[in-house]
A and B are shown apart, each in its own frame.
Chain A
Amino acid sequence: MKKVYLSLLTCMIFIPFFSQAEVRINGFASIYGGKTLDNDESIYGYSDDIDWQNGSLFAVQLSSDLSEGLSATAQILARGNNDFNAEFEWAYLTYSISDNAQISTGKMRIPFYRYSDFLDVGYAYRWAKPPQSVYNLNFSTYEGVSYLYTSYLSEWDSSLQLIYGAVDTEFSAITDSDKGQLKDTFGVNWSLSNDWFTARLAYLVTETTIDLSGSAELSALIGGLQAYGLTGQSNNIEVMEDDSYFAAVGIGINYENILLDAEYTEFEIDNSIFAKQQQYYISLGYQFDSVTLSLTYENNDDENSRDQFNQVPRAITGPNGIEIPVVVPNSEPAIYLQDLTNSALASQRASSDTYSFAFKYDFHTSATFKAQLTKLEDDITGVNTGLLIFGVDLVF
Chain B
Amino acid sequence: MKNLIVLMALLLVSSFAANAGVDVIVHPSNANAIDANTIKKIFTGKAKSFADGSKALPLTQGDSSAVTSEFNEKVLKKSSSQLKAYWSKLVFTGKGTPPKEASSDAEVLSLVANNPNLIGFVKQGSADGSVKVIQSF
Contacts and interface: CB of A to CB of B under 8 A. Distances in A.
Bound together: yes
A332 interface: no
Interface string B65-83: 0000000000001001100
Which of A26, A148, A152, A290 has the most chain B CB atoms inside 10 A of its CB? A26
A121 B92 contact: yes
Interface in A69-94: 71, 73, 75, 90, 92, 94
Interface size class of B (residues with CB under 8 A): 10 to 19
Nearest to B87: A395
A9 to B, nearest CB: 15
A71 B94 contact: yes
Contacts of B89: 117-118, 121, 124
Contacts of A92: 94
B2 interface: no
Nearest to A362: B81
A109 interface: yes
Contacts of B3: none
Given A28-B92, A118-B93, A148-B95, A99 B48 contact: yes
A362 B78 CA distance: 14
A61 interface: yes
Interface of B: 41, 46-49, 63, 77, 80-81, 84-85, 88-89, 91-95, 97
Given A118-B89, A150-B46, 4 more contacts: A73-B94, A94-B94, A117-B92, A117-B93
Interface of A: 24, 26, 28, 61, 63, 71, 73, 75, 90, 92, 94, 99, 104, 109, 117-118, 120-121, 123-125, 148, 150, 152, 157, 195, 290, 362, 365-366, 368, 395
